[in-house]
Amino acid sequence: MNKIETILYSSVKKALLALYSIEADVKLVQLQKTRKDFEGDITLVVFPLLRASKKSPEQTAEEIGSWMEQNEPMVKGFNVVKGFLNLEIHQSYWIQFLAEVSADQNFGFAVPNSSTPIMVEYSSPNTNKPLHLGHLRNNFLGYSVSELLKANGHVVTKVQIINDRGIHICKSMIAWEKFGNGETPQSTGLKGDKLVGNYYVKFDQVYKEQIAALIAEGKDEEEAKKVAPILLEAQEMLVKWENNDSAVRALWKKMNGWVYNGFESTYKTMGVDFDKLYYESETFLLGKDEVLKGLKAGKAFNKENGSVWIDLCNQGLDNKLLLRGDGTSVYMTQDIGTAIIRHNEFNCEKYLYVVGNEQDYHFQVLGKVLQEFGHDWASGIQHLSYGMVDLPTGKMKSREGTVVDADDLMLEMKTTAQEISEELGKLESLSKESKDQLYHQIGMGALKYYILKVDPKKRMLFDPKESVDFAGNTGPFIQYTYARIQSILRKAGEVHVDFNAISELTSYEMDLIKWMHDFPETVKLAGENYSPAIIANYTYDLVKLYNSFYQNVSIFNEKNEVLKLMRVQLSAAVGDIIKRSMYVLGISVPEQM
């Protein structure tokens, strides 16, 4: 409930007491924003009040409206549409609101650290390939949701689990060992994650060749997939790794080290960070111990091959593998261990996992397994499931080497931003270093905004060219408007506004101020829904309203000095909201474009 609704709620209760002698509870007083096709700002739904008034909806609304107009200074007028009372808020309220916003450096955000602790896990890459377009959506979403939760007052810990062990890691290792000829990032000039990723692709190529050869020898496809020599070698390497074989561990540390250096560079370009890193190699043993304790307690069971499973059929799921027959771990094993370690360290109310929707079932199971093992806090585990990112050229496949590399895409976005900016030709006064920084800001702003403006649950099509458009619902359009506002503020210098001397606002100013009034509720709604898209699209609409104001209302040619200063201050307040909104999205806004 925003400030207007709080005041009106109290007034409506007084009206009901005065008119009908009833003490109305919260369920009876239903307030909502007036629909755009009707006049007014706030609408009271009258139907729940008819039992008290014992009159028609129209008469009840007329009586309450008249009482409000006479007794509530905020209400300027009203109109009745069937069972709906539309109240018009006096301009004096909006003028006073603008004064308050102008004085509030943190407008729309809750007091820091005033709410419950939440952990957000995102990124969580495998150390067998570089980050790609799908990782970009994951990282941008995870980082932005973290900032949204902070804006709502939560204490937020940003973490990632690095999947640094397992059969997929061994695939890259065995391929490098067999075909790498000792090459390194230094000898090839490649980023370490890209070099290792090449061998993940190489493994898949050799694996498919061996399968084809086995089929040609008379084996069926399923059997060929299981007995292909290079796969058996990777499986053997995994067993050696779990048994601490010194040579395998040394190779693992070397190749993972290459990947970490590559990841660090990519994260820096992305503009994301983490408060704590966890490694699967350090958490899976605790997961194994937990599974074995569950087995001993009768919460899990063995199959004939020695594998450990849990029966979740009575919870609408099915049997889930927790340990393989050879004793090696699965993803669930390490996720159990990681979750326990994190809870012991941070004791959060919620644990939010930002992972693609292909893992919906996995996280359903994770929470249930932990609760079956006696960890009641696991009810706080939530999966922020998001849709995949498609390209005009089709679906990406890591093992086939058809992914869109994150580094390459970010560089392409920066290059495109540079080309467009140079065509506009407004940056002659900037140094080469400042221009380079600006191109990065615009390119990353375009990329992040294009991805984050889409509801996380929806699958999306990413079009790089469309995202860098300086018009329309794009990051550069919003950044450009912010830069325009900063130009106005530089020209105006320091201003002091006497808001008490203002008696009338234009419709453009009113529309803009009313939209600004919704910012705190928008931040709250976006946080509750873990949806940066709500903030992104709110900001786009704010920018559209500001540009309409800018085109139709004079600022510096206004003869009334008070109005001129007020419009400068209004611009500054809009700029502050744009900056805070974009900050929540992980996007920086340039002072000049």
Q: Do residues 146 and 353 make contact, with C-beta atoms less than 8 angstroms apart?
A: no
> How does pLDDT run across 215-270, given as a tens digit for each residue?
999 999 999 999 999 999 999 999 999 899 999 999 999 999 999 999 999 999 99
At 425 the pLDDT is: 74
At 401 the pLDDT is: 47
586 vs 27, higher pLDDT? 586
Question: Which residues lie below 8 Å from residue 561, measured CB to CB, with a gap of 6+?
Answer: none
> How does pLDDT run across 431-476, given as a tens digit for each residue?
999 999 999 999 999 999 999 999 999 999 888 778 888 888 999 9
R_g of the chain computed on alpha carbons? 30
pLDDT class of 122 with cuts at 50, 70, 90: very high
- pLDDT of 365 over the 70 cut: yes
pLDDT class of 311 with cuts at 50, 70, 90: very high
At 430 the pLDDT is: 87
Q: Buried b vs exposed e over 370-402: b needs ≥16 C-beta within 10 Å?
A: bebbebebbebbbbbbbbebebeeeebebbebe
At 393 the pLDDT is: 63
CA distance 25 to 28: 6
| Helix H or strand E encompassing 322 | strand 319-323
The first and second tokens of residue 558, run together, are: 């206004």
CA distance 79 to 66: 10
Domains and CATH numbers, the chain: 3-89 (3.30.1360.70), 122-400 (3.40.50.620), 406-584 (1.10.730.10)
At 399 the pLDDT is: 45
> How does pLDDT run across 261-282, given as a tens digit for each residue?
999 999 999 999 999 999 999 9
Average pLDDT over residues 36-42: 93
CA distance 136 to 143: 11
> How does pLDDT run across 392-432, given as a tens digit for each residue?
765 444 444 457 889 999 999 999 999 888 887 778 788 99
At 396 the pLDDT is: 43
First to last CA, the chain: 38
Pairing mode of beta strands 154-162, 115-121: parallel
pTM for this prediction: 0.91
